Structure 1
Amino acid sequence: MATATSSAGSAAAPRLVRRRAEWRQIGIVAVYWSLLLTPVFVPAARNLLVLAAACYFSFLNSVVIHNHLHQGIFHSKRLNLVWRAVLSFGALYPASANIPSHNLVHHHFDDDGDLDWASPAHVGFGWNLLNLLHFPNVAGPRTFAGVQRWAAWSRHPTFVRQYRLESVFAFGLTGALMAFDFWGTLFFVVLPQLYGARCILRINLIQHDRADTASEWNHSRNFVGRGFNWIMCNNGYHTIHHNRAGMHWSELADAHSREVVPRMDPRLDEPSMVAYLLRTYLLNLRRPAKFVFGAAGDAAAQLPELASRAVRRAEADAAAVAEAS
């Protein structure tokens, strides 16, 4: 009986991907590629609706990059590296850049004495909408300069080789499409690619601006709408992701309810990202004041968690370096 049960469980287990939930991410990227390539080869498909959909799925492609660079989708390491190249074309930048820029630097905030390359502190306009619009212009160059420094310092030959492969594939395929149809590719491929890459940088501002990055639980803003998190593969649950970087994205919703909600300031849970963006960047011309949290009580309540913070981050760093190797 035990043997039969074990066999049945083994037969039901996914073979290609590590978890069945990953098919959602694969589906997102497949839809995105079809939205990019169809207008190039089928001029009748060139319209604003297709362009808008491609831009939206470009952002989702960058979300998949984020998830994949934390935990590879496939069992096969070689297939995971190929998938990085596929994702790189969708964003027009090497997906492996996420390892130093996001996994290692951003997840530490400024704990190491260096300002996070994508910190909200890099923009300081009084008109808050300008901060949102301008943020990628500041965070982008800082990020790629930092990636180059990290690659030179770490001397990971596997990382450098993979980074170059992704660059060649992303820019090479885009260049080939432009040679085939320059204007069609420029408007219906390059514009969406750039849109998604810039929007994923803006998420750093949206999720952390006016929060307390020195706090164990009040460092991030969460967007908890169920529909939003289904298509975003649970990337709205940002606090638990920072605190448990090794946790798979499919487990974040339950962990947020169980671990974060009882400890976090409730003002950092937002039911809707759209409502938050309208309220913060369009209806409010001034940048909101930084949240003031209960410092004394907060510190006392967080003492046990603060003791293990360095351990959790060290484990996340080890996993990130393993992904780079």
Structure 2
Amino acid sequence: MLVKKRIDYYPITIILLVLGIDLVVFLFSPSALLPIIWMIVSLNIKGWICSWNHNHQHYNFFTVPLANRFIELVMGLQTGIVGEAWVLHHTLGHHLNYLNQSKDESAWKTPQGRLMSRLEYTFKVGFMAYPTALKVGKQHPKSRNKLIQNIVLTVLILGLLFSNNWLNTLIIFVAPMIILLFMVVYETYYHHAGLDQLDPYQASYNITDRWYNFFTCNLGYHTAHHLQCGKHWSQLPQLHQNIKHKIPPHLYREAGFPFSLMTKIEQQLSQRFSTN
């Protein structure tokens, strides 16, 4: 079977659907208004795709390497994080070093030991994302070469799109890529910030909200993910159940808007129907 896990048809279908809409809007919009509207509407969906891109780099969607390279190219154009960037910066970098702030590629401490603000962290880690990935790649030349190939290919495709319609390219592709690269870093701040721990059960915040984990494909089970990052995202809830007694209560966070609102509405509807 081409797709390793049947459940991954869910993110793959949405990724390709968003690509299709991107291209239709790019090719057939009579003015810049529709691309701007679509760009704003799609940012949230592409934010979810950032999570799915992360999951794919830990556990590839497809059994065929060429299919994985294609979906990585698509997600790179949607999120600003091209194939192999997650692998180098995140899997071969952050995952190995997140318990040591002097080495962590996503360090939330300055070299002097000061806790960065969320904005300081976002700009520092965001601007250095690709240089850091390439630096990690010196120890992993095959992965580094793939990253360079993916960067070049992405730039070439953007160049072709730009030559066809520079304004639509900026609105539909370039702007979301830049915004989402920094938004991903912004969101990762609260995965670990302030948790200077050697115990992996006390080094990550978790979000168990059902809607948050539905749309992010279980990104909220972060302690479980760090303990076994090679596990498929669909297996993380069970792993979390097995280890949750080891996670201190203060390491659970609220999902935030709009997921908290969705959960509240669901609870109210459930109570209403149960009383009728």
Contact preservation (8 Å) 2:93, 2:136:
no
* Alignment equivalent of 1:218, drawn from 173, 186, 202: 202
Matches of 2:196 and 2:234 in 1, distance apart? 26
| Equivalent residues of 2:212, 2:259 under 8 A apart | no
**Structure 1 counterpart of 2:175, which letter?**
L
1:122 Cα deviation from its structure 2 partner? 4.3
1:34–1:165 Cα change, 3 Å: same
Q: Do 2:206 and 2:222's aligned partners in 1 also have CA atoms closer than 8 Å?
A: yes
* Structure 1: gaps of 5 or more residues: 1-14, 278-325
Task: Supply the distance in 2 between the matched residues of 1:226 and 1:49 (Cα, whole angstroms).
Answer: 29
Deviates more, 1:229-238 or 1:59-68: 59-68
The verdict on how the C-alpha distance between 1:94 and 1:248 changes in structure 2, with shifts beyond 3 A counting, is same
Task: Verify: 1:16 aligned to 2:7, yes or no.
Answer: no
Shift of 1:146: 2.5
Amino acid at match of 2:218: N
| Aligned counterpart for 1:54 among listed residues 37, 42, 54 | 42
Q: Are 2:97 and 1:109 equivalent residues in the alignment?
A: yes
Structure 1 residues 149 and 123, CA gap change in structure 2 (3 angstroms): closer
Deviation string for 1:24-51 (max 9, x for gaps)?
1202312331343233223257165422
User: Is 1:187–2:171 an aligned residue pair?
Assistant: yes
Distance 2:257 2:190 in 1: 11
CA distance in 2: counterparts of 1:123 and 1:28, whole angstroms: 41
8 A Cα contact 1:105 1:117, kept in partner: yes
**1:30 aligned to which of 16, 26, 31:** 16
Counterpart among 217, 236, 242 of residue 233 in structure 1: 217
Mapping for residues 1-325 of structure 1, pairs under 5 Å: 15-43=1-29, 46=34, 49-111=37-99, 114-122=102-110, 131-156=117-142, 159-259=143-243, 261-274=244-257
Query: C-alpha distance in 2, partners of 1:137/1:238?
Result: 23
Q: CA deviation at 1:19?
A: 0.6
- Given that residues 63 and 232 in structure 1 are in contact (C-alpha distance below 8 angstroms), is that contact kept between their aligned partners in structure 2? yes
Q: What CA distance in whole angstroms lies between the structure 2 residues aligned with 1:49 and 1:73?
A: 30
Contact 1:35 1:53 in 2 (8 A): no
Q: How many residues align?
A: 257
Offset, 1:202? 1.8
- 2:102–2:111: 8 Å Cα contact kept in structure 1? no
Query: Which whole-Å deviations, capped at 9, do the CAs of 1:87-132 have from their partners, x for residues lacking one?
Result: 22223343202112111221123556842121221499x9x9x933
**Secondary structure in structure 2 of the residue aligned to 1:228:** helix
Normalising by structure 1, we get a TM-score of 0.71
CA contact (8 A) 1:56 1:196 kept: no
How far off is 1:18 after superposition? 0.6
Distance 1:230 1:121 in 2: 31
Give the partner amino acid of 2:129.
Answer: T
CA positional deviation for 1:65: 1.8
Question: Over residues 268-301 of structure 1, what are the superposed CA-to-partner deviations in whole Å (9 max), with x where a residue is unaligned?
Answer: 1124233899xxxxxxxxxxxxxxxxxxxxxxxx
Q: Distance in 2 between matches of 1:46 and 1:91?
A: 20
What SS does the corresponding residue of 2:257 show, helix, strand or coil? helix
3-state DSSP of counterpart to 2:219 = coil
What letter is aligned with 1:208? Answer: H
Aligned-partner residue type, residue 145 of structure 1:
P
Higher RCO (Cα < 8 Å, 6 or more apart):
1
Q: CA deviation at 1:82?
A: 2.7
What TM-score do you get using the length of structure 2 for normalisation?
Answer: 0.82
- Residue identity (%): 19
Where in structure 2 are there 5+ consecutive unaligned residues?
261-276
